[in-house]
Amino acid sequence: MLEDLFKVVKKRFNDDDNKAETEKPKFKCPRCQHMITEEHYNELLKVCPDCNYHGRMTARERIAITADKDSFIEFDKDMKSCNPINYPEYEEKQQELREKTGLSDAVVTGQAKIKGSDVIIAVMDSRYMMASMGSVVGEKITRAFETAVEKKLPVVIFTASGGARMQEGIVSLMQMAKTSGAVARHNQAGLLYITVMTDPTTGGVTASFASLGDIIIAEPKVLIGFAGRRVIEGTIKQRLPDDFQLAEFLEEKGFVDMIVERRKMRSTLSHLLKLHGYVPEQEEA
Amino acid sequence: MENEKTAWERLQIVHNKNRPTVNDYIPLIFDEFYEIHGDRHFGDDGAIIGGIGRLSGIPVTIIAQVKGRNINENKKCNFAMPHPEGYRKALRLAKQAEKFHRPVICFIDTPGAFCGISAEERGQGEAIARNIMEFMTLRTPVISIVLGEAGSGGALALGVCDHLAMLENAVYSILSPRGFASILWKDPSREEEASSIMKMTAEDMIELKVAETIIEEPLGGAHNNLDKIAENIKEFLSHEISEISKKDIDELLKSRYTKFRKIGEFTE
């Protein structure tokens, strides 16, 4: 009791050190509202220490923790979208985002090694227009699969998306057909496709290539769904349970094969690749 | 054809309560029709009907989204918003058509796939994705016709085809103009403005190479002359099926892939 009293006093009269501590940027977990400093959150690979929610990462961060060091070779780095329906200020908005994120659109694709096994890898980045799928995402994903067929390689995609890119209208919808067609060809070639669903995987991406993996992995507590939560709540006129559309719910309903923690993702992927015969030429330590 | 109408005006025609639905067309277009039910996993979805019929003598598989015209019909067909079992029924019928070398004819008429708890629990996203992928490699000709509105992935799940036709006033869009305005401008009341910029008319679809043919409607819209519009649809289908059946199936699959492969606008 006495101690508690002192704590309060100490808080009220912060010395400079403590002040710096409280002013450090904080991360608030969207699942359990737990607050930690961003510094600590980053140290934990952006996983909430309280509820195990696996937070959003940038594409570069993801590649860094997944691929072997210096093994990543990027494809189509400078591909940029046009404005197919002349949506007002679409170009300006994209230019702004390019400068802010260093990305040219919402997906980074390339070839890499995972513990020595060669893979074609694609990582979506939700900072870029909620990683919505327009012409560039559609084209880069499609090319990734086509390259994988040519080189007889497996594909690993880390999905994250708000869905179709509204600003590209019907052209955006058609990317669902284009990417799924490329998955079909890769599938017919007998090659492995692993989807890793990360936060959030929704809409037109769920309804196309994200749901078509031979193996579908999800990170804990991430949001996965077709329709948006608010849209459904609007239809049924009641609040949905908190766990609705989380990875665990999808696993229970049979739409996710396994939930894998971030710190085990690289080794899990490596084992699955080897089980499918993608054995490294020279295994990395 | 009437070329001067705005997307908004066409939407009003499409939403006319007397606009014919696939149930009006089937008896006028096909010589016989046997409806087939269920997805063999969960149930039978009233929003998508399917069956086997005969078009100008040729056996075909028919898959169609159904709109209702009164509250009882709409209760049965869920306002043409399919559940996953509807898409899985469609896929079962398409695979059956492939087995028996029958062309598939899809009639699209939906505001979108159903958004609700049951649809999510049964994997709406997976069902649509699966259809899109499987139709891309289906080894039999597929022709799709948009009768009224074609909204989002729920329409595309029956829209991966060798030849897409639009009725003259039909629209095809990423989502409804209301949804578009709501998402991008947080103001659903700006739906008319949204419809004007979304590029959703039959002519827009031709220009964007999403559709190949526009089927002419009677003056003022399909509801003004059911026999005439049914005749136009039948004429298109009979002609297209005889053309498409001459093609080598591998060539057909290649051009089906290429059609979608080419859509997208970007610079490098």
Q: Give per-residue pLDDT as tens, A266-283.
A: 999 999 999 999 988 765
**Does the distance separating the beta carbons of B173 and A235 come in below 8 Å?**
no
CA-nearest of B35, B242, B29, B36 to B141 is B242
Q: Which of A3-12, A114-123, A136-145 has the lowest mean pLDDT?
A: A3-12
pLDDT grade, residue B87 (50/70/90)? very high
Chain A residues with CB-CB distance to B208 below 8 A: 84, 170-171
Q: How many CB atoms lie within 10 A of CB A135?
A: 26
The per-residue pLDDT for range B239-249, each reduced to its tens digit, is: 999 999 999 99
A133 to chain B, any CB pair closer than 8 A? The answer is no
Has residue A285 got a pLDDT over 50? Answer: no
Chain A residues with CB-CB distance to B257 below 8 A: 181, 185
Question: Under 8 Å CB-to-CB from A95, ≥6 apart: which residues?
Answer: none
Has residue A11 got a pLDDT over 60? Answer: no
Distance from CA of A7 to the nearest CA of B (A): 46
Q: How many CB pairs under 8 A join A and B?
A: 178
Q: What is the mean pLDDT of chain A?
A: 92
Alpha helix positions (H), chain A? 2-12, 16-23, 38-43, 59-66, 90-101, 135-151, 169-188, 203-206, 229-236, 247-253, 262-275
Q: Which of A51-60, B162-171, B178-187 has the lowest mean pLDDT?
A: B178-187
Has residue A9 got a pLDDT over 70? Answer: no
Residues within 8 A of B (CB atoms), A 251-270 only:
253-255
Closest CB from B120, B180, B265 relative to A81: B265
For residue A195, give the amino acid letter: T
pLDDT at residue number B1: 61
Has residue A25 got a pLDDT over 70? Answer: yes
**Does the distance separating the beta carbons of B172 and A170 come in below 8 Å?**
yes
DSSP state of A209: G
Closest CB from B136, B175, B210 relative to A174: B210
Residue-range domain boundaries for chain B: 7-256
pLDDT at residue number A229: 87
pLDDT at residue number A12: 47
Nearest CA in chain B to A207: B125
- Report the pLDDT averaged over residues B6-25: 96
**Does the distance separating the beta carbons of B183 and A174 come in below 8 Å?**
no
- Report the pLDDT averaged over residues A124-152: 98
3-state helix, strand, coil in chain B (%, to 5): 45, 20, 35
For residue B211, give the amino acid letter: A
DSSP A62-127: HHHHHSPTT--EEESTT-EE--TT--TTHHHHHHHHHHHHS-SSSEEEEEEEETTEEEEEEEE-TT
3-state secondary structure of A26: strand
Distance from CA of A171 to the nearest CA of B (A): 6
pLDDT at residue number B2: 59
Q: Which residue has the tokens 């598989």?
A: B61
DSSP state of B198: S
pLDDT at residue number A163: 95
The per-residue pLDDT for range B17-60, each reduced to its tens digit, is: 999 999 999 999 999 999 999 999 999 999 999 999 999 999 99
Has residue B163 got a pLDDT over 50? Answer: yes
Q: Quote the CA–CA distance of B76 and B73 in Å, as a whole number.
A: 5
Percent of all residues in chain A with a pLDDT value above 90, rounded to a whole number: 84
Has residue A171 got a pLDDT over 90? Answer: yes
CA-nearest of B135, A228, B246 to B144 is B135
pLDDT at residue number A157: 98
Closest CB from A82, A181, A187 relative to B266: A82
Closest CB from A80, A164, A184 relative to B137: A184
pLDDT at residue number A180: 98
- Report the pLDDT averaged over residues B79-107: 98
**Does the distance separating the beta carbons of A255 and B266 come in below 8 Å?**
no
A63 to chain B, any CB pair closer than 8 A? The answer is no
Nearest CA in chain B to A235: B116
For residue A30, is the peptide bond before it cis, meaning its omega torsion is within 30 degrees of 0? no
Nearest CA in chain A to B184: A166
With 0-12 / 13-18 / 19 or more C-beta atoms within 10 angstroms meaning exposed / middle / buried, residue A83 is: middle
pLDDT at residue number A16: 52
The per-residue pLDDT for range A206-258, each reduced to its tens digit, is: 999 999 999 999 999 999 999 988 888 887 888 898 889 999 999 999 999 99
pLDDT grade, residue B251 (50/70/90)? very high
Chain B residues with CB-CB distance to A209 below 8 A: 129
Closest CB from B117, B128, B210 relative to A236: B117
Here the tokens at position B255 are 């051009």
Provide long-range contacts, Cβ within 8 A and 24+ apart, for B202-209. Answer: B202/B146, B202/B166, B202/B167, B202/B168, B202/B169, B202/B170, B202/B171, B202/B172, B203/B3, B204/A170, B204/B7, B205/A170, B205/B164, B205/B166, B205/B172, B208/A84, B208/A170, B208/A171, B208/B263, B209/B259, B209/B262, B209/B263
With 0-12 / 13-18 / 19 or more C-beta atoms within 10 angstroms meaning exposed / middle / buried, residue A101 is: middle
Q: Quote the CA–CA distance of B9 and B12 in Å, as a whole number.
A: 5
CATH class of B7-256: alpha beta
Q: What's the sign of the alpha-carbon dihedral B10, B14, B19, B24?
A: positive
Asked if this assembly's ipTM is beyond 0.90, the reply is yes
pLDDT at residue number A65: 97
Closest CB from B121, B124, B174 relative to A166: B174
Chain B residues with CB-CB distance to A82 below 8 A: 265-267
- Report the pLDDT averaged over residues B180-198: 94
Measure the CA angle with vertex B180, ends B266 and A183; round to 5°: 45
Chain A residues with CB-CB distance to B83 below 8 A: none
What's the Cα-to-Cα distance from B122 to each of A95, A151, B90, B162, rounded to whole Å? 39, 36, 16, 29
Residue-range domain boundaries for chain A: 1-53, 54-275
Distance from CA of A85 to the nearest CA of B (A): 7
pLDDT at residue number A235: 78
Distance, CA of A258 to chain centre: 16
Asked whether the whole model's pTM tops 0.90, one would answer yes
Q: Which residue has the tokens 């508690």?
A: A4
Nearest CA in chain A to B172: A170
- 8 A C-beta contact, residue A76 and residue A140: yes
What is the second-level CATH architecture of the domain A54-275?
Answer: Alpha-Beta Complex (3.90)
Closest CB from A85, A175, A225 relative to B264: A175
Has residue B63 got a pLDDT over 50? Answer: yes
Here the tokens at position A154 are 């497996």
Has residue A97 got a pLDDT over 50? Answer: yes
